[in-house]
Structure 1
Amino acid sequence: MSCFQLPQGLIKEIQSPFRISLELSGRTQVALLQLCASKEVGGLGFREVHYFNLALLAKQGCMLILEPESMLASVLKARYVPRTDFMNASLSFRPSMTWRGIIATQLILKAGCRWRAGDGRDIHAWLDAWLPWSHHFRPLTRPPDNNLTTKVCDFLLPVGKGGTWMLLVLVFTKMMWSISSLFRSPEG
């Protein structure tokens, strides 16, 4: 289940004996959604096979991001994404079932992953999720002059070992003010 995405027909086949056994045992029929509810809200904590399968595949996708030097990551990168990374990859010509399954979790990972700033050379300031205080982890303002190529390292002043953040720019981004209007104002 952690290697490829299970087809919907197979998922229904896996879950149907469970439903039949509940009906045949003479117990009151309980909806599967109620059984899959967490124990805190009165359910039995069972997992739906579809979501469990996606979680296992997302774990593989996470491994591709966190351990890009691993054997599996190297093979998949050489075969399917030689010129980009996993988060920007797409289905290529005749992908394997493994690659289809891992790519299916890409949107799930994009919704929950964010960059750690570090030196900021690989992070697009306006496109990538990297801000710790924003709900979407992205700047909510538009880039000045629609310049989408700005990297996070452009917000660092080359002072000392690690650089110093341009706090004025980041404070205005945090307060959701438009940086472009700041540069157009007569005072600044």
Structure 2
Amino acid sequence: MSINAITNLIRKGNYNKINAKLAFYQWGEENGKKKMHWCSWKKMTQQKDREGLGFKELQSFNRVLLGKQVWRMVTTPNSLVSKVLKAKYYPHESIFRCKIKQNSSWIWQSLMGARDLVEKGTYRKIGNGKSTKIWEDKWIPGNS
């Protein structure tokens, strides 16, 4: 089992607990008995324009926020966080090609778990072409 699979299992259990607390808060209890659940949690987490209630599904929301941090590291490589993480985890390669080490920190493993979200929507701008690996980098939209 990979590092990401293990951390996802742990996090999924925590998310289920948090979602249960949110659902309990929403529906509550009366005289020690739980109130009726009038709609499913899945319906509650759908967007309002899709006839849901707009609650955040925490696991997906967390992945999006982690993906946003990866995007910031890609677009602002001169920030302190980007420089520190690059020096420690991927000093000689792209963030999209680096390997996840067994002794990586929990936050780095989490960021790498969201890296594929960013990579799917990212294409390389060629520029002068010196740092582009034409057979490995995603640089033509629509091509794998």
**TM-score band w.r.t. shorter chain:** 0.7 to 0.9
CA distance in 2, matches of 1:10, 1:28: 22
Counterpart amino acid of 1:11?
Answer: Y
CA distance in 2, matches of 1:33, 1:74: 40
Alpha-carbon deviation of 1:37? 1.1
Count of matched residue positions in the alignment of Structure 1 and Structure 2: 132
CA distance in 2, matches of 1:28, 1:111: 37
Q: 2:110 aligns with which of 101, 105, 110?
A: 101
Where in structure 2 are there 5+ consecutive unaligned residues?
Answer: 1-6
Partner of 1:168: none
SS of residue matched to 2:85: helix
- Does structure 1 residue 90 correspond to structure 2 residue 99? yes
SS of residue matched to 2:96: helix
Query: Where in structure 1 do 4 or more consecutive aligned residues deviate above 4 Å?
Result: none
Cα displacement string for residues 46-101 of structure 1 (whole angstroms, at most 9, x for unaligned residues): 12100111111111111111111111111111111122121111212411111011
Partner of 1:19: 23
CA distance in 1, matches of 2:129, 2:29: 60
Higher relative contact order (CA 8 A, sep 6+): 2
Where in structure 1 are there 5+ consecutive unaligned residues?
Answer: 139-188
Structure 1 residues 12 and 28: alpha-carbon distance in aligned structure 2, compared to 1, 3 A threshold = closer
Q: 1:37 aligns with which of 43, 46, 65?
A: 46
Q: 2:13 aligns with which of 9, 34, 42?
A: 9
Cα displacement string for residues 18-57 of structure 1 (whole angstroms, at most 9, x for unaligned residues): 2224263745431111111111111111121001111111
Alpha-carbon deviation of 1:135? 2.5
What is the Cα-based RMSD across aligned positions, in Å? 2.2
Q: 2:90 aligns with which of 62, 78, 81?
A: 81
Report the TM-score when normalising by structure 1.
0.63
Partner of 2:73: 64
Report the TM-score when normalising by structure 2.
0.80
CA distance in 2, matches of 1:127, 1:31: 44
Q: 1:53 aligns with which of 56, 62, 86?
A: 62
Alpha-carbon deviation of 1:109? 1.4
